[in-house]
């Protein structure tokens, strides 16, 4: 399979961890159009896609997980299958991993030329009312962050936060060929912060960001995680104000998505551990059943001998 999109979101909420997983599963279940998503089931969902849901672990334990996998053929090429996988793992916090994969089922070696957008379940998660997905103190949303001058400090804190995991794409207004953050954001939802920086905000950022790492005058910049006072401006892409908006938007999307794929892990080790525990428990149940049948068989033989 070819991995097209991957992200891990950390939930923040006043709900209990179990309530958070239930809320997440409910939102994803509505997107997939399956009832009672917190269950072990294999059924048809939206557009007749196959939807498999599983609960790994004991729902009353401190750590367990819920997963959903949705797979369906491509609209234009029946030999291409798309697979969306969502896993919510409950522990000290609730982490949600979303992956989109593509595979050919006919063995033909063909290049897939179109980059897919993130699965729509990302929007369903980011739009939840009772749960926020936060990075570096800033909530990830489906709207562009409009940074007014009074918000300059908050943006600078997000950019400089040593715990930040996701890139920040900041762009400034133009009179001609404007950058469309509303067009860019859906392609990087869950993978980046997208901010429109007012001209006066740029001036305020001069005193808050390391030298050479500001953006202004119709330009756009990508601040990768790890910005410090010693960071080089060359490590954080800058597109000048005369660059084509479509060109820089496509380039920024490609850079962000590719970085997200590079950061993706194949499988959360906690999921593997929960699956192993489940298989061990099932093996014990089978062993007990085999022993029960053996004893019944011996009893039946003894009764037959007595008669």
What is the per-residue pLDDT for 176? 94
Tokens representing 270?
């906690």
**179: DSSP letter:** -
pLDDT one-digit tens code per residue, 153-172: 999 999 999 999 999 999 99
Number of Cβ within 10 Å of residue 87's Cβ equals 21
Strands, E, within the chain: which ranges?
A: 2-12, 41-44, 50-56, 64-73, 80-90, 94-104, 132-135, 138-139, 145-147, 168-171, 193-197, 220-223, 238-239
Residues 6+ apart with CB under 8 A from 98: 5, 6, 7, 8, 9, 84, 85, 86, 118, 119, 121, 122, 125, 190
What is the per-residue pLDDT for 279? 79
What is the per-residue pLDDT for 307? 67
The structural domains of the chain, with segments of one domain joined by +, span 2-133, 137-263
State the residue for tokens 């909420």. Answer: 13
Q: Is the pLDDT confidence value at 302 over 80?
A: yes
**60: DSSP letter:** T
Across residues 120-132, what is the average pLDDT? Answer: 96
What is the per-residue pLDDT for 113? 66
What is the per-residue pLDDT for 246? 96
Q: Is the pLDDT confidence value at 87 over 70?
A: yes
pLDDT one-digit tens code per residue, 242-266: 999 999 999 999 999 999 999 886 6
Across residues 211-224, what is the average pLDDT? Answer: 96
Residue 42 pairs in a beta bridge with 52
pLDDT one-digit tens code per residue, 45-82: 998 999 999 999 888 878 889 999 999 998 888 889 99
Q: Is the pLDDT confidence value at 270 over 80?
A: no
Q: How far apart are the first and last CA of the chain?
A: 63
Residue 132 pairs in a beta bridge with 12
Least confident of 116-125, 176-185, 264-273: 264-273
What's the CA gap between 217 and 130, in Å, rounded? Answer: 38
DSSP structure string for 28-42: HHHHHT-SS-SS-EE
User: Under CATH, domain 137-263 is a member of which superfamily?
Assistant: Glutaredoxin (3.40.30.10)
pLDDT one-digit tens code per residue, 9-56: 999 999 999 999 999 999 999 999 999 999 999 999 998 999 999 999
**Mean pLDDT computed over every residue of the chain:** 92
Across residues 277-298, what is the average pLDDT? Answer: 86
pLDDT one-digit tens code per residue, 167-193: 999 999 999 999 999 999 999 999 999
């Amino acid at each position: 399979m070819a991995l097209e999109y991957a992200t891990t979101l950390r939930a923040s909420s006043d709900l209990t961890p179990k309530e958070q997983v239930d809320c997440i599963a409910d939102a994803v279940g509505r997107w997939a159009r399956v009832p009672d998503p917190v269950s072990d089931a294999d059924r048809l969902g939206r557009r007749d896609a196959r939807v498999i849901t599983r609960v790994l672990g004991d729902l009353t334990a401190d750590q367990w997980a819920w997963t959903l996998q949705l797979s369906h053929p491509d609209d234009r090429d029946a030999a291409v299958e798309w697979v969306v996988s969502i896993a919510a793992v409950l522990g000290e916090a609730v982490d949600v991993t979303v992956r989109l994969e593509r595979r050919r089922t006919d063995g033909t070696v063909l290049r897939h030329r179109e980059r897919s957008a993130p699965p729509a379940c990302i929007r369903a998660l980011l739009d939840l009312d009772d749960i926020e997905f936060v990075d570096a103190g800033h909530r990830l949303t489906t709207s562009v962050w409009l940074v007014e001058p009074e918000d300059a400090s908050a943006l600078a804190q997000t950019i400089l936060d040593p715990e930040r995991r996701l890139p920040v794409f900041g762009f400034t207004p133009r009179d001609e060929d404007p950058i469309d953050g509303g067009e860019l954001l859906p392609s990087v939802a869950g993978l980046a912060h997208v901010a429109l920086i007012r001209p006066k905000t740029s001036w305020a950022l001069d005193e808050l960001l390391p030298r050479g790492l500001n953006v202004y005058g119709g330009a756009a910049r990508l601040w990768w995680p790890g910005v410090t006072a010693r960071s080089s401006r060359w490590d954080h892409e800058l597109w000048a104000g005369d660059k084509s908006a479509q060109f820089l938007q496509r380039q920024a999307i490609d850079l962000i998505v590719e970085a997200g794929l590079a950061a993706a892990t194949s499988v959360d080790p906690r999921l593997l551990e929960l699956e192993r525990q489940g298989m061990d428990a099932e093996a014990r149940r089978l062993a007990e059943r085999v022993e029960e049948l053996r004893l019944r068989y011996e009893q039946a033989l003894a009764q037959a001998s007595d008669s």
